[in-house]
């Protein structure tokens, strides 16, 4: 059962429900799950089974699909759906995490980049290709998260993944910031896309802003604001 404002009073969270959440900036996906689980579990007087279908980084906002009770069996199906994102690549520098979570570690010239180069690189990303996840990611390596190893100064070896980019649109009218929209497969790290985008332009780039707009046919415009849902669950 997909829970919206109109049917929240009918929700049977133990039996199984789906919630669309607009994840706030600065929150981990786990923190969102924890807050909602705690609120509902307090009401039910029992611990609720709940999970999310696809992690968003703390500095990203947008759509999270949460499943409760028996609906958690559907999580893998939702994770397999295509994702739509929008945001900003910033040219001229790189960061170890490929996003704003770490400081700039190298600067590059970007003023040589012409519109036809950007278009050529855009086209090079379309379709299937191999892309390596960032070392600052939740990918597991021998039971540990890659980011845990990276934070200790280690450089975990991550294997490339076959991903597919269905569409990529770019607006380079505000260089060095490039606004983008992308539709891609499961397993695509937009931070890695940003980093590779800079390399293919013979410069550097990082992800300055990210929002997940859709997962399959589910769109963020129909999602709950976290505070609003928590207030109603009170």
Domains, in order of start, for the chain: 8-80+219-233 (3.30.2350.10), 83-215 (3.30.2350.10)
Q: What is the pLDDT of residues 161-220, one digit of tens each?
A: 899 999 999 999 999 999 999 999 999 999 999 999 999 999 999 999 999 999 999 999
Residue 57 annotated in active site: yes
Peptide bond into 132 cis (omega under 30): no
The residue count for the chain:
234
Q: What is the Cα–Cα distance from 183 to 169, expressed in whole angstroms?
A: 9
Which residue, among 43, 53, 54, 55, has the nearest Cα to 13 in the 3D structure? 43
User: pTM for the whole thing?
Assistant: 0.91
**Secondary structure of residue 227 in the 3-state scheme:** helix
Q: What is the pLDDT of residues 113-170, one digit of tens each?
A: 999 999 999 999 999 999 988 766 566 555 555 555 456 555 666 678 899 999 999 9
Which residue, among 208, 213, 212, 211, has the nearest Cα to 101 in the 3D structure? 208
What secondary structure letter does DSSP report for 94? E
Q: What is the Cα–Cα distance from 20 to 214, expressed in whole angstroms?
A: 10
Q: What's the confidence (pLDDT) of residue 25?
A: 97
Given the residues 12, 57, 116, 166, the one annotated as active site: 57
């Amino acid at each position: 059962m997909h829970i919206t404002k109109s049917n929240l009073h009918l929700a049977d969270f133990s039996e199984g429900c789906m919630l669309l959440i607009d994840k706030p900036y600065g929150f981990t996906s786990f923190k969102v799950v924890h807050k909602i689980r705690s609120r509902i579990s307090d009401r039910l007087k029992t611990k609720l089974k709940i999970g999310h279908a696809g992690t968003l980084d703390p500095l990203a906002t947008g759509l999270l699909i949460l499943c409760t009770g028996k609906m958690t069996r559907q999580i893998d199906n939702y994770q397999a759906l295509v994702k739509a994102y929008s945001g900003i690549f910033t040219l001229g520098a790189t960061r170890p995490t490929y996003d704003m979570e770490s400081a700039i570690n190298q600067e590059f010239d970007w003023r040589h980049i012409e519109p036809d180069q950007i278009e050529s690189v855009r086209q090079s990303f379309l379709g299937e290709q191999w892309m390596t996840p960032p070392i600052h990611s939740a990918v597991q390596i021998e039971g540990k998260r890659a980011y845990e190893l990276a934070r200790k100064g280690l450089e975990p070896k991550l294997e490339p993944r076959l991903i597919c980019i269905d569409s990529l649109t770019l607006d380079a009218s505000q260089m060095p910031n490039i606004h983008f929209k992308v539709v891609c497969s499961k397993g695509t790290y937009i931070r890695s896309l940003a980093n590779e985008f800079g390399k293919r332009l013979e410069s550097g780039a990082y992800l300055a802003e990210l929002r997940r707009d859709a997962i399959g046919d589910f769109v963020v415009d129909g999602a709950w604001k976290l505070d609003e849902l928590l207030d109603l669950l009170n």
